[in-house]
Every structure is written in C-alpha cells, then in structure tokens.
Chain A
Amino acid sequence: MSITKAITWARLKSPWVLHFNSGACNGCDIEVVALLTPRYDVERFGIKLEPSPRHADVLLTTGCVTRQCTTRLKRIYDQMPEPKFVVAIGACACSGGVFKGNYTVEGGVDKVVPVNAYIPGCPPKPEAIIDGVVKLLNSLKEAKPNDKK
C-alpha cells in the first residue's frame, strides 16, 4: 500500500469533524449533536467531533453566516490543514434560508468559504446529515481537496 493510499484509507475511516455555528437558530445544531448521541451514534463510522480546527478534516457549518461571524468562519477554514472539506448543513447554510436578505446576513456559507457538500432541510433530519457526510466520504476516494484560495 502506497503512502497516499494509506492516508486516504485513514481519512475515510476516521474523519474528524469540526462544528461551527455561523448564526444558526440551533435547530441544525441540536441535530448535529443528536448525531453523536446513542440513537444515531456516528462515532461507529469513525466520525469524531473535534474541538480544534487544526485537527479537523471536515467543517460542518450551520447558520446563515452573519456579518459578525464572517471573519471567524474564514479564520477557522484557514486554520484547517489540507485537504479540507466543508459541509453546509441546513437551508440557512446552503442559501441563507428564511433569513436571506436580512441586514446582517451574508446568506450562505459558500459566500465565504468553498463548500463541498450541501445538506438542505430546516433542519435536515439526522439521517440526512449522515447521508450527506457519507456521500462526501465516498467522493473522497478520489480525494479532491479544495484549492487553496
């Protein structure tokens, strides 16, 4: 097994995720936390919630990205090591959702950082979030990391 293959294998089997709320209503956030608890328990897939951006592979972002959160979201993304992936969870993170057009709302995570997977829903059910993350992992087999901006 070549070293790249080994790294891809390790990445697929144990993606470490970082959760960042960029101005969400907590609806998506509690569903993300529900993923870690006994009924859904994504740790059995090796998915681990990681507190530091410097150790994370995947950034799970919720929320409509408020003006005040923009710089912080960029900073967190920049701190993550390559290759890195961003998942936008919920209608707000995908497009701004119900808050689109409000005076402090940027509207959508992809306005600030590149996004690899969109999971729509208000909020998406935990099953949908698992599905989105698994689809992302499958696409990692031919790892296409974000181009460094």
Chain B
Amino acid sequence: MGEAVQIKLAHLGIASIQVAAESVRDIVEIMLETDPNLGISAITGLDLGENIGVMYHFRLNQKLATLISEVPKSNPRIQSITDVIPGANFHERELFDLFGVTIDGHPSPGRLVLPEDWPVDLFPLRKDAKIDNLPAQGESSTEKIASAPEIEGTLVNLVVGPQHPALLEPEKFSLKVDGEIVRAVEPRIGYVHRGVEKAAETRTYLQDVYLVERICGICNSCHATCFVEAVEKILGTQVPPRGKYLRTIILELNRLHSHLLLLGHAGLEIGYETLFQYMWRDREPIMDMTELITGNRVIASSIAVGGVRRDLKETDISKIKLEMEKLRKRMDFYQNLYDKEPSLKMRTQNVGVLSKEDAFKLCVVGPVARASGVSMDVRKDDPYEAYGEIPFKLITRNEGDTYARLLVRLDEITESINIIDYALEHLPTGPFRIRAPRVVPAGEALNRVEAPRGELLHYIRSNGTAYPERVKVRTPTFANLPSFLKTAIGGTIADVPANFVSLDPCFSCTDR
C-alpha cells in the first residue's frame, strides 16, 4: 500500500480513497474496524479505456465514502468483499454482468440482470460493446419450464413467476420447500432490465431527466430529483428556495402515494381486500394533488435542472391543505385498525423477522432498515432540498417483522402530511427555477435522496459535452432484496407473500 493510497476529501461523499485493486479488501477491513456497521451503498463500474474503474460507495457512519480502484481490461479480476460485507453480493454480481469484472471468491457467481442466453463475452456497459448483432433467442433461453414441481431429495422446488397473480411484475422465485417450510429461495431477476444506464449515455442531460423518471413509475420524482441534484452539483447551480420547497412537496406527495399503494397492496396479499380498496380510495386524492401541482397523475415530469417546471398557484394551497386534513383523519382510522385488528396482526406479527445485526450486515435501507431499529434516513443524514429546515420525526421500530415494516410506513404517512403542511405554510416567494446551461462541465458527482423505499443513489460522470459519460443508479429495492432471501427461510409458504410485500418490492427499480 503506502504511496499507492490517494485520499481526496469532499469528493464522492465525505472522501474518496484511491487504492490498488489488491488492497481493496484490506482497506474495507480497516474501515470495518472504524465503523462495525459499515454498509455498502453501491459498486459502480466505469469504462476508462485501458482499464475498468471500480468504485465502492460505502455508508461510513451514515455518510457516503468512496473507495476507487482500477483493474486492467485485459484481465479484469477483483477480490470479492461479500464475505466481510454480505450486502455486497448482488452489487458484485451486477458488476460482472455489466462490465465483465470477474469477482474472485464470490459465493454465488452468475448472471443477475442479463438474460441467461446473453453472449458470454458481451458486457453492455463497456464503451466498446457491440450490441447490434444479438443472436436470435434460443428455445431454451431463460425459461426452463417445469410441468410439475421438481423434487430434490426431500425438498420440492416451487416456482413462482414470472407471470403470477400475486406478482404485479415479471420476476421468478424458486422456493425450495420442505412440506410447508421454505428452506431456500433462489431469485431470477432481470425481466424488467431495460438497459437504462447505457441508454442514459446516448441521451442529453435534458432527455435523461425524463428517462430516469421512467426507471420507476412509482418513485419517479425521486429518480428525477436525485439525477438533477447530481447534475446541479457538477454545474454548481443553486436552486432558488421556492424551487426547493416545491420539490419537497412533490417528493412527499410521491412518498404518500407510494406508501398508500404499498399498504393497500399488503392488505391484498394477506387476504384483507377491504383494506386494499380503502387504501387505494384514499390514495386517489393524492394523485389528484400531484396532478394539480405537476400536471400529471403518475409520472410527474416536474423536476428540472435548476428548479421545478411550473409554479404552484396561491389558490391551490388551500385545496392541498384540505386534502391533507382529510387524509390525516383517515390515518387515525388506519392506526386504530392496525392496533386492534387481530387478523391483520396474526398475518404479519413475527413474520419475516430481520434482526438489527442482519439489517446492518445485509446493508438494507429505508423503511426496512428503520423497522429493524436502524435509524437511517437520507433526509436526516444528508439533508437535501428543504428537509434541513423542516422539522419531522424519524420513525423507527425494533420488532423487525412484517408488522413493523408496515407500521413504519403508516407513521411516515403522518410525518409526510406534516412536512407538506409545513412546507406550504413556509413557502418562500421568489423564482421557482433558474436557467441552467445544457452542457455540463467535466466532473463527477454522487448524490442520494430518500425515496419511499429507502436510499436512492445516482452517480454521474460528465466529460464536458451535453451527454453524460456514465450514469449509475442504485435503487433501494436492489439493496433490500437480500433481506427477503434471508427472512423467508424457515417461514411457511403462506407467509411468503406478506413478508415479500412488506419490502415494497419494485422490480422496475431493481432491474433498471
């Protein structure tokens, strides 16, 4: 090590450390001694021409820090860190899939997001990848369809998906069951992999805002905000205060609709359809409010570099306040329901318990982490937009079960209503947007926001043109998936849907 280590402060988080590929693991172990709860946020690959850059973004004492390394393209290999930080598992597999960096000592190497029939020597995110002449899909492609459950010893292989009534999205899970008990879970994700990161490189920054919004239709404003904030960091643009407050309101409306959607969906999965219909009925006014402010019901397309796309009318403020007041009353009803309804408790309490230690080990984020007693929220840890000025409570619980994960979201709805009320009352006057240049100077930025599902991370590298050189997106659902794979084991098949839905799965985010 010695002179090979290069430290830059306030770069890609609180600091970036450049080290040789061989010493990455040693540095990670040193960092683990500093903070035993060290979590990994993302692993970003970069095509640097002769070399492939590998960046590890860590959460060190709740702040981001980056470890930068390079491996030669002729022989890209790097040592796995999954054994010291189990949460790195999927990140490393993704690095292999998209950049072809072989991970030495990985416990379960293999395809993660790309189809099984993808050419073995084609790594789409490398700049020299030629993706024009893909071979035709073979009959055997991804799908091995079993007519009857396969039996391996005493275990029966139960395949759920890719099309299944309980799944709104195409994904496949193989549950190895022993009678009613789940012994192992093998996910096959990537059905929704649309190559967004590559596509972002071929579009301008302006077009990319609309592209990243469509990574996920549910938390679309969060993706847009995270992206434009990173661009603003490179540009050095200061968003006017009114723009910041309006963004905060849009983001919180986004959180409200997402949480109500999830709580309703959870009702459906535990066989409580009335709750589903109630929650979705109460969600409709939120969609109306989003439409009132942004002009769109679902994909808001309201966040722009330099502020927001349109202003809020004075007359609309009272309308929004009225709806918030109505929703607040409804939340009392749901709170009561969650406190007293025995059938709801029986289906969710002590189901899929994730301990605090495991939450740290698996590096989960957002409400899943907060339900296991980890107080982590980007709005508090790294305040962005107007969150630094708005008082709100950080909701945590200690049970770590499905019930706690749902209740954390229920309480967060009330907090979101408070934030919106506060922001509306303290809405600054002045411009809501400033014009920003379309060509971004060379540079790089790492940014994160708290999406409804947890910490969302975007990394942008600019080469001084109107097109970004690299856009990396790490979504909260990608980070939370390992917790399901852990907590489903030992539970019954009947508990799988309730446990799974409490993570708020969103595969369009996970696969990108």
- Which residues of the other chain, B, contact A98 by a CB distance below 8 angstroms? 210-211, 214
- Range of interface residues on B (Cβ < 8 Å): 35 or more
Tell me the complex Cα distance, A64–B192, Å.
9
- Range of interface residues on A (Cβ < 8 Å): 35 or more
Digit string of B34-74 for contact with A (CB within 8 Å is 1, else 0)?
Answer: 00000000000000000000000000000000000000000
Digit string of B473-512 for contact with A (CB within 8 Å is 1, else 0)?
Answer: 0000000000000000000000000000000001010000
* Total A-B residue contacts, Cβ distance less than 8 Å: 134
Q: How far is the CB of B276 from chain A (nearest CB, A)?
A: 8
Tell me the complex Cα distance, A140–B119, Å.
44
B143 and A72: CB pair below 8 A?
Answer: yes
Tell me the complex Cα distance, A38–B194, Å.
33
Tell me the complex Cα distance, A118–B134, Å.
28
> Is B400 located at the chain interface by the 8 A CB criterion?
no
A21 and B168: CB pair below 8 A?
Answer: yes
| Cβ contact of B216, chosen from A19, A25, A76, cutoff 8 A | A25
Q: Is the interface of A mostly helix, strand, loop or mixed?
A: mixed
> Is A29 located at the chain interface by the 8 A CB criterion?
yes
Q: How far is the CB of B272 from chain A (nearest CB, A)?
A: 14
Q: How far is the CB of B120 from chain A (nearest CB, A)?
A: 15
- Which residues of the other chain, A, contact B281 by a CB distance below 8 angstroms? 37-39
Tell me the complex Cα distance, A86–B131, Å.
30
Q: Please give the residue numbers on chain B whose beta carbons come within 8 Å of chain A beta carbons, in ascending order.
A: 114-115, 124, 131, 134, 137, 141-143, 145, 162-165, 168-170, 190-196, 198-199, 210-211, 214-218, 220, 261, 264, 276-277, 280-281, 284, 287, 297-299, 506, 508
Q: List 27 A-B pairs, Cβ < 8 Å.
A: A20-B170, A21-B169, A21-B192, A23-B170, A23-B191, A24-B169, A24-B508, A25-B217, A26-B508, A28-B217, A29-B168, A30-B218, A37-B280, A53-B163, A66-B191, A66-B192, A71-B142, A72-B162, A97-B214, A102-B194, A102-B196, A102-B199, A103-B124, A103-B131, A103-B134, A103-B198, A104-B114
Q: Please give the residue numbers on chain A whose beta carbons come within 8 Å of chain B beta carbons, in ascending order.
A: 19-31, 33-34, 37-39, 51-53, 63-64, 66-72, 75-76, 97-99, 101-105, 122-123, 125
